[in-house]
Structure 1
Amino acid sequence: MSVVQRRMNARLLRFSTLAILLLCTAAAFGQADREAQYKQSIDAYVEAFNSGDDAKMSAYLTAHMADASLQQRPMAERLERYRSMHADLKSLKLVEIADVELSLEKQSVTAEMRAGNGETVAVSFLFDPQPPNKLMGLRIELGAPRAGGAPSAATSGPAPTNEDAFQRQLTGYLDDASKRDEFSGVVLVVRKGKTIFEHAYGYADKPARTPSRIDTKFNLGSINKVFTRLSIEGLASEGKLSLDDTIAKFLPDYPNKEAAQKVTVRQLLDMTSGIGDFFGDRYLAAPKDKLRTLADYLPLFADKPLLFPPGTSNHYSNGGYVVLGLILEKVAGQSYYDYVKQHIFVPAGMTDTDYYFTEQNVANRAEGYTKQAGDGKEWVNNRATRPARGSSAGGGYSTAPDLVKFAAALESGKFGPPSPGLGIAGGAPGVNAALEADARAGFVVVVLSNYDPPSAERVARQILEWTRGI
């Protein structure tokens, strides 16, 4: 080898070494930047979570989550789940960053946090590997039980890795919750069309000691909102209304004239209308047996000022969904209850789903029981808190098998484009229901309870965590 060649090779070696060092240094700085970015996103999530404010959580998700992920689920559903988790966990405090994976294929951070109710939870944040590395999803996994409770044998072992282990672990978990009188209701888990778990716990009627059955009818709470949304979207697809129409077009006598002129159907659906809730002092004072039609709910909220200019913020709104139901009645020329039964329940094969009157004698219907009344120590019937009939905002009844049929109808495209999934819950005193459907993984999880929140949602979250391993 000539002297010139040796010098050229030496220069190439030095250049290659320098290039590698520069690349490694750049990668290290890039990783450090991303870690700092992700830490800021986690801190912002904790701040939004602890606020208990729908608008702040909505702002966080809008700013930090990737557009493609946001489009997979309506903001109203995300806020419904947030409210449920906040009611259960109370607050979150970061303890430590437990795990970080920053590869070309996956960018994830798992944070251990202490909840205000005493539980330790793991919150996993999944970020897009591609710039600007926005949040693609997050999940909360329950860890140690809340203070004062002994750990269940079902939750103290490793996560199940097959269906048999899943069934054993879930059975132990639910048996334990039932013995503690923390859960009463039904659980149904379906995987790729096959039922892999179903069981009923507790009593549908405590004084009569009538046991719950897998086909017992439970109050769904706000899960009914998805029926309202689908109905409105169906009318829009038929050209019978536009999502940009205002309330005034259909309800010219609506009490709040500003809301009537400015609020659109789309804003009602997305809970960005500024219309508030009907729960509050007026609801507490109202004779519940007089709340029998959608119009009966209007005096509870419709004349109140808007919480914010329409479209500028987000606030959970039962009142807004009552207005949607009234718009539906005007457009369809029939009652909300009849329309939803004809266009949602019947096509989906939901034969045990309806909006029953409180005084109606309905076979196999669960009574609700709450500790949010009286001395807070004993379960008491929730009838005094319930309206005479549910509304387009919630309060209808269904069974676990019927909700599985509904999930299948959504996946098949019966009500529009096939849905990749659904996650929605409903809760009130003596009412808690959760429906989780993931078409890609093939799972449908239904948990219905006649106890206070988060009795059903807590079970559903645990099931979702365990299904990831099987």
Structure 2
Amino acid sequence: MALRFIFGLITVCSMGRAAQNSSAQDAPAQAFPATAHLNAYIKAFNSGSADEMRQFFKDHYAAAALRETPVEARIARYTTNFSRLKSLQIQKIAAERPYGTFALAKTGNGDDFLLRAAVEKQPPHKLLFIFFEPVDDPKNIAIPDPKADDRELAAAVGAFLDAQAKADEFSGVVLIAKNFKVLFHEAYGEADREKKIPNGKTTKFNLGSINKSFTRAAIHKLEKEGRLGFDDPIQKFLPDYPNRQAAEKVTVRHLLEMTSGIGDFFGTRYEATPKDKIRSIRDYLPLFADLPLEFEPGRGNRYSNGGYIVLGAIIEKVTGTDYYTYVRENIFQPCGMSDTDSYERDKGISNLAMGHTRRGQPGGERVLNHQTLPGRGSSAGGGYSTSEDLLKYVQALSTGKIFLPDIANGLGIAGGAPGISSAVEWDRRSGYLVIVLTNFDPPAAGAAARRIVSWLPE
């Protein structure tokens, strides 16, 4: 069975457990609010109007979902995806539950998708997310159901991952915990195919953008200590920053929230730079820092790896130490994360998973991704960790030992690049934590995590 691909038209980094069975007494007055939201979404999507979609997001989405992924970021995704899909038509409602709906839909280009919409359990039952999963056979759709208990959950997850690994569609480690007690922890596939080294429970995987969570935690720690302010401009810390408009107008808050207008460091300059020469935060800055802003700071929202590089440079300036040392001593060590760091790629670090990518060719041969990787990761991503260390990180967040805002309901973080796919989903209310780390292309981790989340017992 091919690994399902979660198509992120509209996603929110939170546990998507709303589409699970619920007792009649807990059901909302309107039996299936997710169906109503989904129908409204289809109408807005097919309008082709960014303004109509913008109003849909404002009217139908939960506040927590919009904090996690702001409206303008959703509009940017919509514009791209509308140009690809052309239109959406629901073919049939596959399943309806009090807090979630599954529907089979066909796009204007003829593709079939399973749509899943989930809503809050509290009135007025606004949307948490809608996500799409490609369907190979519309006549044979499997609707995930929550399992009866943790034992049944572990059995289902084990069978699913065994099948995926045998089909060469999953390689990595999965950890499931409840209230930080491990319920399931298994490794699959190979850390290094050339050397036939298997993945293990303690294998270190490239996290991709999950590193941004550590950078956010570091910035919030420095703000609480009074060493920087969220409204401080870049120039306060980096007076020689090449783009003067950015230096004067972009604040720490803009950088954190990706509303700065600073773009990405991936591009022609990155491609032209010998990757082994990129080993420090300052090595990343010439790849983007002098480029024009993509929009006026605070007036838009766009994913920004470059912005998180600037945050790393600010951390270095404020603390007088390099970024890697600061997060190691102030984030990782307090959590007991002894197997987490931004390792230099050619230093012979033991127990490291090598990334294997199909280079964008579905079904193609998997090859090592080392030619795409910098010599060392950064404050924007590319560090390594283990499933056990990430459990320790989330536990530290839960107790307040490490601070992040907006985690009252939980945490959802992910990362991805060629040969790198990672996902962490934590629901504070239920206590469930799902960690998936892989050395395959996206959406290997995200797809597995979503499937597991849909099976979590109530």
Shared fold, TM over 0.5: yes
How has the CA–CA distance of structure 1 residues 286 and 179 changed in structure 2, closer, same or farther, with 3 Å as cutoff? same
1:381 equivalent to 2:374? Answer no
Q: Which residue is equivalent to 2:264?
A: 277
Specify which of 337, 341, 347 is matched with residue 324 of structure 2.
337
The residue aligned with 1:187 is 174
Structure 1 residues 228, 447: CA separation in 2 closer, same or farther (over 3 Å shift)? same
Give the corresponding residue for 1:123.
Answer: 116
CA–CA separation in structure 2 for the residues paired with 1:100 and 1:375:
32
Which among 46, 50, 67 is matched to residue 63 of structure 2? 67
2:111 corresponds to 1:113: no
Structure 1: distance between partners of 2:277 and 2:148: 52
Structure 1 290/149 Cα, relative in aligned 2: closer, same or farther at 3 Å? farther
Residue-by-residue CA offset, 1:38-65 (whole Å, 9 max, x unaligned): 46741377469x99x9x99988645643
Higher helix share: 1
- Number of the residue aligned with 1:456: 445
- Does 2:386 correspond to 1:393? no
**Equivalence map 1:64-103=2 (5 Å):** 64-67=60-63, 70-71=66-67, 73=68, 75=70, 93-96=88-91, 98=93
Contact 1:430 1:452 in 2 (8 A): yes
Q: Aligned partner of 1:173: which letter?
A: F
* 8 A Cα contact 2:34 2:100, kept in partner: no
Partner of 2:126: 135
Alpha-carbon deviation of 1:122? 3.2
**% identity of equivalent residues:** 43
Q: Take 1:185 and 1:150, find their aligned partners in 2: how far apart are those partners?
A: 31
- How far apart are residue 119 of structure 1 and its match? 5.4
Q: Is the contact made by 1:141 and 1:462 (CA closer than 8 Å) also made in structure 2?
A: no
Structure 1 residues 35 and 229: alpha-carbon distance in aligned structure 2, compared to 1, 3 A threshold: closer
Is the 8 Å Cα contact of residues 141 and 465 (structure 1) preserved in structure 2? no
Q: Which residue of 2 aligns with 1:432?
A: 421
For the residues of structure 2 that align with 1:158 and 1:319, how far apart are their CA atoms? 40
CA–CA separation in structure 2 for the residues paired with 1:358 and 1:58: 43
Partner of 1:9: none
Q: Per-residue deviation at 1:374?
A: 8.8
Closer/same/farther in 2, CA of residues 302 and 47 from structure 1, 3 Å limit: farther
* Maintained 8 Å contact 2:342/2:382: yes
Q: Which amino acid aligns with 1:429?
A: P
CA drift of 1:195 comes to: 1.4
Q: In 1, are the aligned partners of 2:42 and 2:88 still within 8 Å (CA)?
A: no
- In the alignment, structure 2 segments of 5+ residues that lack a partner are 1-28
- In the aligned structure 1, how far is the partner of 2:291 from the partner of 2:130? 37
Whether 1:308 and 2:292 are equivalent positions in the alignment is no
Partner Cα separation in structure 2 for residue 156 and residue 64 of structure 1: 24
Residues 334 and 201 of structure 1, relative CA distance in 2, 3 Å threshold: same
Report if aligned partners of 2:418, 2:441 keep a CA contact under 8 Å in 1. Answer: yes
CA distance in 2, matches of 1:215, 1:450: 14
- For residues 336 and 416 of structure 1, what CA distance do their matches in structure 2 show? 18
Shift of 1:416: 2.8
CA distance in 1, matches of 2:160, 2:211: 28
**Distance in structure 2 (CA, Å) of the matches to 1:362 and 1:117:** 47
List aligned pairs for 1:243-258, cutoff 5 A.
243-258=230-245
Structure 2 CA distance, aligned partners of 1:124 and 1:35?
A: 6
Shift of 1:140: 3.6
Instruction: Give runs of aligned pairs for residues 199-278 of structure 1, distance below 5 A.
Output: 199-278=186-265
Matches of 2:301 and 2:348 in 1, distance apart?
Answer: 39
Change (3 A) 1:251 1:97: farther
CA-to-partner distance for each residue in 1:214-247, whole Å, 9 max, x for gaps? 1100000000000001111111111111100111
**Counterpart of 1:449 in structure 2: which amino acid?**
T
Q: 1:67 to 1:44 in 2, by over 3 A?
A: farther
Q: Which deviates more, 281-290 or 347-356? A: 281-290
The CA distance in 2 between the partners of 1:120 and 1:202, in whole Å, is 28
Taking structure 2 as the reference length, the TM-score comes to: 0.81
Secondary structure of the equivalent of 2:191?
Answer: strand
**What is the Cα deviation at residue 134 of structure 1?**
7.6
2:9 matched residue in structure 1: none
1:328 touches 1:336 (CA, 8 Å); kept in 2?
yes
Q: 1:439 Cα shift?
A: 1.4
Say if 2:180 and 2:391, in contact at 8 Å, map to a contact too.
no
Structure 1 segments unaligned to the other structure (5+ residues) = 1-29
* Equivalences, count: 418
Alpha-carbon distance in structure 1 between the residues aligned to 2:276 and 2:248 = 32
